[in-house]
A and B are shown apart, each in its own frame.
Chain A
């Protein structure tokens, strides 16, 4: 029993020590990024004749509630040259009909080139109103298959994958393309921050006022997203060991992704799996490359507003994580893959994948130990206080970092609410999500592969 307890404690300190380390690195990187931004404004990149054109891929499955506002937002982006490809992945609702009506689509005789195998593309539509808007109507094959179809169809060297229920900020592409402007040949992909749209006022696909939701659940997720994006991913990106670029927003160079035959249709975490496989292939070929994370370009997305939906989402994320790691197991602790194999993969396995199991097991173990009287109750209580403090500390630091550097929540009321959320999420929310993730881990072990439907209210209704 004592050894188990000690194991749990070592795990706790190791995991939190790593979180803290990542956070400190991220702080330095974000501050540097903000300083650089003072000298490289979006207007300069907009005027440039060398800005690489981008294809924006929007896979849509039953997105009738939010698809029009998402596409409208995309049509209003500040970027010199881009095309939008919406892939209707066999929706059973009226997604296609709504798109046809809103953007005056017409069928074309466009030849679809299947460089990566995908489900059949039935018709290629083009908008009569916007020359850069295309809609592919295809048979259902899942999100990864839809993205592959979009990639087959796209004509530009870079592509940006976004979720249909997300909204990009006007300058998001201009900002995210910056690493490509610095060193185009070496940059394989760039990820950007995804933020919670619930509570924001969105009109015609444009975030007009940033705010927080009335319910606590989406607001806990705001803090969680801040923690994940501002600390973890920024630091991993700087070390070229970023293992995940959110499916909601990332810009990839097309050729390296085509070289690995696009997204895998056999996982539910296709975004992470793709990035890990990209690392694997590029490292195997000994190519000089970098996968960046930019802490600024913002994509707003609707998060689950019900526990039921949150449970499905977290379950899927955990399974996706498990699948991405399992499918690339030869990289694990393999020095051939450098920092990815020796640091990032073990970290994601030990800290991210196993943490819900260890956390919940830890609670149970201390309960049993207390019951059996083999541990001082003072030690257990102090440990729990420390655990809560540590959780609060990391969340509060993320909120403060956001306030000092990016400052996206202009109202003091919002800041105070976020600080409260950073404290309150440690009393129940984190434990419940740990349970959802544990269930995901169990389903991963059972090879459960269902996507898990998440009901959307539509971005413009989410506040």
Chain B
């Protein structure tokens, strides 16, 4: 191709490209305008209908009157959407008979069926997730089997919402399925599980203790954390056995859980770990003693002030500073230590105590 030819080709392509870009930009701006206008129109319509539908819904929740309910049958799709939003909002602050009436209305108006259909069939994960959440919030118990199925959904959001819904409706028997489906999302799962587990209460503990020895580290860590949150001294035997695990993360998690429980027998069991080979474990043990003001650990903590690892020295000093008079005496004693690092740390925490007292 000669220079002139490629320039001409380029000229044509450039004009074409420019036009295409122009059309796209113009279309996007048009879409923006249409969206804005539609939004304004919808907001107006919604405000108008909401007043009417809300008054009917509130009257039904108060009286349970069938005549009122019949007014909410066979609503147009847009009104159905508005009613759904109203019922979801109202359901947040009610309980007892009002709650069952709101569920009844949800079922009666056909919204529950639509939600189940969406949960089962929708291509879009966010619609499935919203349906799972709504079914739980509205206590649609017949949705249980579909929610259990949703625990295997490929989207984590759907699984999380299904978990929440199942927990909210109190189906205790589903715990193993939930743990299995969520274990890979440690903190997020722990967050959702916390609420769920505490609603279930003591019946969940034996299962959690079994999961503390699960072959998968993530499930183990999650279970140890949840056991610690129960603060039940009966779990100390299992947790103490994990202090000798091969895996440092498990050992640290167990140490933290024992600290969370705060029982003296458990704390005595972690005194030897102030001399553990891993500094992270020594530092963690020191922290738990401070948190629980566990004075029998003072001799060990004094030794830790001479530790090679700075974090261990820091945590030991802080722990002593949290132990009131006995800790203060120990820190003063450390000022006479042969070790310069121990003296420095003691000085630091004594100054801190003085400044804050």
Contacts and interface: CB of A to CB of B under 8 A. Distances in A.
A379 B187 contact: no
Contacts of A9: 10
A104 B170 CA distance: 50
B173 to A, nearest CB: 25
Contacts of B29: 396, 400, 419
B348 A109 contact: yes
A385 interface: yes
A203 B18 CA distance: 45
A116 interface: no
B351 A108 contact: yes
B6 A6 contact: yes
Given A110-B348, A181-B187, A115 B7 contact: no
A303 interface: no
A212 B6 CA distance: 45
A157 B229 CA distance: 21
B133 A48 contact: no
B157 A39 contact: yes
B278 to A, nearest CB: 14
Max count, chain B CB within 10 A of own CB: residue among A2, A35, A50, A128: A50
Contacts of A390: 21
Nearest to B315: A155
Nearest to A400: B28
Interface string B165-201: 0000000000000000000111110110010000000
A404 B32 contact: yes
Report the interface size class on chain A.
35 or more
B28 A397 contact: yes
A386 interface: yes
A363 interface: no
A184 interface: yes
Interface stretch (A59-67, A140-148, A284-292, A370-378): A370-378
A35 B185 contact: no
Given A39-B161, A396-B28, A404-B35, A389 B348 contact: no
Nearest to A131: B356
Given A2-B3, A183-B185, A389-B22, A48 B126 contact: no
B21 A45 contact: no
A376 B7 CA distance: 7
A106 interface: yes
A104 to B, nearest CB: 12
A115 B308 CA distance: 13
B14 A48 contact: no
B185 A182 contact: yes
B345 A111 contact: yes
Nearest to A2: B3
Contact of B18 (A376, A389, A396, A400): A389
Contacts of A113: 310, 314
A392 B15 contact: no
Interface in A1-32: 2, 6, 9
A44 interface: yes
B315 to A, nearest CB: 9
A15 B120 CA distance: 44
Contacts of A385: 14, 18
Given A109-B352, A113-B310, A382 B11 contact: yes
A403 interface: yes
A332 interface: no
A109 B351 contact: yes
A395 B130 CA distance: 34
Task: Label chain B's interface by main secondary structure.
Answer: helix
A129 interface: no
B85 interface: no
Interface in B13-44: 14-15, 17-18, 21-22, 24-25, 28-29, 32, 35-36
A52 B191 CA distance: 12
Contact of A50 (B6, B25, B161, B225): B225
Contacts of A51: 187
Interface in A357-387: 374-376, 378-379, 382-383, 385-386
A182 B29 CA distance: 37
A400 B26 CA distance: 11
Contacts of B32: 400, 403-404
Contact of A386 (B3, B7, B14, B187): B14
Contact of B24 (A110, A115, A185, A393): A393
Given A109-B348, A111-B345, A113-B310, A382 B15 contact: yes
Contact of A383 (B10, B161, B184, B350): B10
Contacts of A36: 157
Nearest to B350: A109
Given A110-B348, A389-B21, A182 B187 contact: yes
Given A181-B188, A400-B32, A379 B10 contact: yes
A397 B32 CA distance: 11
B129 interface: yes
Interface string A173-193: 000000011111100000000
Nearest to B313: A111
Among A106, A382, A412, residue most surrounded by chain B Cβ atoms (within 10 Å): A382
A49 interface: yes
B317 to A, nearest CB: 9
Nearest to A9: B10
A54 to B, nearest CB: 14
Nearest to A396: B25
A49 B229 contact: yes
Contacts of A39: 126, 129-130, 133, 157, 160-161
B328 interface: no
Nearest to B349: A109
Contacts of B187: 48, 50-52, 180-182, 184
B69 interface: no
A447 interface: no
A101 interface: no
B98 interface: no
A392 B191 CA distance: 44
22 contacts: A38-B130, A40-B157, A48-B190, A50-B190, A50-B225, A52-B187, A111-B348, A113-B314, A126-B352, A126-B355, A184-B186, A375-B7, A376-B8, A378-B11, A379-B7, A379-B11, A382-B11, A383-B14, A385-B14, A386-B17, A389-B22, A393-B24
Given A111-B310, A184-B187, A383-B10, 10 more contacts: A39-B157, A48-B194, A49-B194, A49-B229, A51-B187, A108-B351, A108-B355, A379-B7, A379-B14, A383-B14
The 8 A-B pairs at the shortest CB distance, nearest first, are namely A109-B351, A181-B187, A382-B14, A113-B310, A48-B191, A386-B14, A35-B126, A379-B7
